[in-house]
Amino acid sequence: MSTRDRPLRSVLYMPASNARALEKAKSLPADAIVLDLEDAVAPEAKDTARRQAVAALASGAYGPRTLVLRVNGLDTEWGRADLAAAAASPPAAILLPKPSSADDLRNVQTAMDAAGLPVSIELWAMVETARALVALGDFAAEGRREGSRLAALVVGLNDLYVETRARPRADRWTALPWLSAVVTAARAGDLVALDSVCNDFRDAERLGRECEQARDLGFDGKTLIHPDQIALANEMLAPSAEEIAEARAIVAAFEKPEHAGKGAIRLDGRMVELLHAAAARRTLARAAAMARPAHP
């Protein structure tokens, strides 16, 4: 199943060098887990992290959680070894840090092919450089290209703040144009859109505000750094009971015989169109996917 069809409300990073975190993740209610070989792992721990990540991927101990491997860039001494290791026990997706052009996305797919990663293994791309923001249209086109592995865009605000010199603000107003641009590119490219992390993992109020922003901007899920952040993301990035009830009402209204062949109808005193029925069906499909046990 493509990750496009899986719930990805909560996507938890963990350093693959941290054996305790790898163990703990087996019982955490995250929809997806990113085993990080890149920034969260010190150079002297890269080999241990790669070995532990491969063992985790091969273990079958993470149930239906979507497993993703964040590799080091191909321009580092570790990148190609990371891909070769992934081929031994493939994750659902490879997460590429710091791509800045469509060429970077195509080059890593060529390297994935060469490493022997099956074509079903997707590519997720971080959006964390100024050049990536400028290239979002090309990223969307890559998502639409026949045979492309690209399936998701993942925002990385920590790097973007440093590179652009924009100041991180608690309400994230300095990042809103980027966040919105990433969601737009994801929709144009038929890609999953995942919001950045909230570094202040003890601040549930702030996380709640970020999840609300992510939901309202149209993100599919939020990346996380700590187990305490999972429950809130799962709750806030799922369709609410009211949204599900409304979606059911719209679908039911369009299915009435008297509305057959109509493009627009009246429901509870307002107009709903076929495009709303399509959105309602998508909401119901997401809710159904989230109702399936993702974390036993």
Question: Where do contacts with ligand 1VU occur on this chain (CB under 6 A)?
Answer: 12-15, 20-21, 24-25, 36, 39-40, 156, 158, 197, 225-227
CB of 97 to ligand 1VU, least distance (A): 8
- What is the spatial distance between Cα 15 and Cα 33, in angstroms, rounded to a whole number? 11
CB of 197 to ligand 1VU, least distance (A): 5
Comparing CB distances to ligand 1VU, the nearer of 59 and 240 is: 59
Comparing CB distances to ligand 1VU, the nearer of 94 and 277 is: 94
Which residues are paired to 69 by β-bridges?
A: 35, 94
How many C-beta neighbours within 10 Å does residue 91 have?
24
Comparing CB distances to ligand 1VU, the nearer of 221 and 239 is: 221
CB of 214 to ligand 1VU, least distance (A): 14
Comparing CB distances to ligand 1VU, the nearer of 25 and 232 is: 25
- What is the spatial distance between Cα 17 and Cα 231, in angstroms, rounded to a whole number? 24
- What is the spatial distance between Cα 81 and Cα 123, in angstroms, rounded to a whole number? 17
CB of 127 to ligand 1VU, least distance (A): 10
How many C-beta neighbours within 10 Å does residue 150 have?
27
Comparing CB distances to ligand 1VU, the nearer of 191 and 194 is: 194
CB of 104 to ligand 1VU, least distance (A): 17
Residue 248 parent element (H or E): helix 241-255
Structure-token match 């920590």, residue found = 158
Comparing CB distances to ligand 1VU, the nearer of 42 and 114 is: 42
Structure-token match 């060429």, residue found = 103
CB of 201 to ligand 1VU, least distance (A): 6
Q: CA nearest 28: which of 234, 295, 232, 238?
A: 295
Structure tokens at 208: 């709640």
